Structure 1
């Protein structure tokens, strides 16, 4: 089967296990009970709450562990890579990965349909918290928060598919299955390969091993979120080919994408202290996603656009300090950690985000009806035009 036909087929497929679980909970009227009991289920190794419906218990048992093919040495390397680059990764997720989602019109439409535009911080906070949980030392151990979060996010996606189909709010013939396999793989590429591209664009030095480990960690995440591993790129070269083809098939301007981007910019301008530095938010987005996509999303041009372009030189100067001084390296890594914590705290208002299955989209979402000093990672070349 040729690549285009394969992607067309993946547009019709959701997540069989999670979809069946959510359907069973709705059919038996057990969603409210499930959400109430699951609110206290937050750490790996914790016994499931007493009284959970059978469908939920079966699902939690089936998804209680990461895939058996996980290479834990690579996962540890990915964690160290995150620690070393946490503030840059947070920047890339916020100012590249999310806008790139908005430049895919049907994704922007889905996001506009399934969460209130008045509270964009909710999605950004959930994404940031999810990533932080993933990169903690105890992520997959007893007491860690990542596995339960992944289990809940997977059910959340299934519930969105359930609601949109049941309520006739989604044109399946035109857009495919909501949160289909093609879009889930595409999203995995935007949160892994595009982040690495953005770090490179920012001038961050990365070893090939560190970049590959970070990409690998998101392969593990994808598997735990119900992505069919038979179709997932296994390395950065094939990831480039997939992402290029995915974006070429779908990207373009849309009112929803522009609206979501404006909300994103407003959100981070609130996080940035004062108002003088506000334009750096739009300038950073434009620098990371390029002028064409930025214009599609109505990202304003500002006098700070030139400032964003010199960021790589500033980062190289910072890295020079790290190279010369172990104490400087510790201090900069610590500052990066504190910056990430501050950003996440600002978005969450100091609360832990809970991933619950929405009983009704209108009520829940506002629907109206390790660094290597030797060498540097080079991004795989674009396949567009091949």
Structure 2
């Protein structure tokens, strides 16, 4: 069904009933510390659960141990191949478009400040990158994979943040609705799917309609496993365009937290890029992918690279021509993309595995209050008409 302001307002009132009840029980029984300690040993699907795990946690893990019954596995394989073919471009879009888009929604920026802290932006980037890599591995939903346990933990992480913000009266629910509500979860799903596809198109990446649809489909599956109401989720790219446009019109704007998080993100990637000569390309890429209005709200600086970065689509076009004409070139570029993704992720994680633990308390110094509110090439759906 087409979403309206009224239907979006309803989505702002809903959280995730199963995960919320599980987290509430863990806190009520004082079992969060035990849960976090034992869950560090649960990293692969199908592994025996450790002795001493609270019963409520066992019940939750059993209920969320499998993907939804409606999954089309052929479509998921298409999505995996699409990711392999475009992994470095997808990583670029996630880093320089999806994350800044989160920051341009003031209440989301405030929430991220409270839950992750402003001094460790690498943590959220590492978690996002690791989660996506797990998703796109062969057998991601089979025994021995790391994706399902990661999804189970992320879902509980979201529920724990809702629990803290509500219990500690750090969230203006009357103005903002439920923290990490269904509207915001679907919005996040759009940032990591529809907005990534938009960014790849802006970078001049050739995508088939089939590949774009498969990638979006994979994130619908992810949303289902993260507790997103599937009745409300856009079912195709046209519906996704309308939802994303309406969501951004409703919420996007400037905020101090958004600008601060963006500055931390820029500093982080300038550290990853060797030397200093190419540092300005980080800001230039963000500005190019999110547009001048959003970039200005986030205090993204103008640099001499703002003009240079506009030639990126032409350069990528040359590389894709090499890929199309030469099997060896295709292999070499895919391998380079894989190595680039691994290098970036290892730089963010410092070689460690991110465990998605339930925080026993939020940062005390960042309260959250009301906010100011190749063939058949794919092209993005037209912007929704307001």
The structural deviation recorded for 1:5 is 1.1
Rounded to whole Å, the distance in 2 between the matches of 1:375 and 1:182 is 32
Q: Once structures 1 and 2 are overlaid, which stretch shifts more, 2-11 or 38-47?
A: 2-11
Partner residue, 1:102? 103
**SS at structure 2 position matched to 1:301:** coil
Deviations 1:119-161, CA, capped at 9 Å, x for gaps: 1000000000000000000211111000000000000000000
Task: Provide TM-score, normalisation by structure 1.
Answer: 0.97
Greater mean alpha carbon deviation, residues 46-55 or residues 197-206:
46-55
**Alignment match, 1:357:** 358
2:269/2:282 contact within 8 Å kept: yes
| Coordinate RMSD, CA, aligned | 1.2
1:182-331 to 2 correspondences below 5 Å: 182-331=183-332
2:117 aligns with: 116
Q: Is the 8 A contact 1:192 1:218 kept in 2?
A: yes
Change (3 A) 1:368 1:233: closer
Q: Give the C-alpha shift of residue 354 in structure 1.
A: 0.6
The aligned length equals 380
| Structure 1 residue ranges without an equivalent (≥5) | none
Alignment-derived partner of residue 3 in structure 1? 4
Secondary structure in 1 aligned to 2:80? helix
Alignment of 1:54-203 (within 5 A): 54-203=55-204
Separation in structure 2 between the aligned mates of residue 260 and residue 190 of structure 1, nearest angstrom: 17
Deviations 1:304-339 (A, max 9, x none): 011111100000000010111000000000000000
Check the 8 A contact 2:110/2:257 in 1, yes or no: yes
8 Å CA contact 1:245–1:384 kept in 2: the answer is no
CA–CA distance in structure 2, aligned partners of residues 37 and 255 of structure 1:
38
1:361 alignment partner, SS class: coil
> CA deviation digits over 1:18-77, x for unaligned, max 9?
000000000001111111111000001112111111110110000000000000000000
User: In the superposition, relative to structure 1, how do residues 368 and 383 fare at CA in structure 2: closer, same or farther (>3 Å)?
Assistant: closer
Contact 1:115 1:367 in 2 (8 A): no
1:52 maps to which residue? 53
8 Å contact from structure 2 (residues 170, 367) kept in 1: no
- The alpha carbon displacement at 1:384 in A equals 3.5
Residues 340-372 of structure 1: per-residue CA shift (max 9 Å, x gap): 000000000011111111111138xx7479xxx
CA shift for structure 1 position 200: 0.2
Contact 1:120–1:267 (Cα < 8 Å) also in 2 = yes
Gaps of 5+ in 2: 369-373
Q: Deviations over 1:271-315 (max 9, x none)?
A: 000000000000000000000100010000000011111100000
Q: Deviations over 1:191-233 (max 9, x none)?
A: 0000000000000000000000000000000000000001000
Distance 1:165 1:76 in 2: 40
**2:151–2:225 CA contact under 8 A, matched in 1:** yes
SS of the aligned residue for 1:230 comes to coil
Q: Distance in 1 between matches of 2:285 and 2:150?
A: 30
> Contact 1:161–1:178 at 8 Å: present in 2 too?
yes
Deviation for aligned residue 1:116:
1.5
Tell me the SS of whatever aligns to 1:362. coil
User: What is aligned with 2:39?
Assistant: 38
Distance 2:299 2:218 in 1: 33
* Structure 1 stretches of 4+ moved >2 Å: 366-369
Counterpart residue number, 2:348: 347
Structure-2 separation of matches of 1:111 and 1:352? 21
Q: Distance in 2 between matches of 1:107 and 1:356?
A: 20
2: CA distance, partners of 1:72 / 1:324: 30
Q: 1:122 to 1:145 in 2, by over 3 A?
A: same
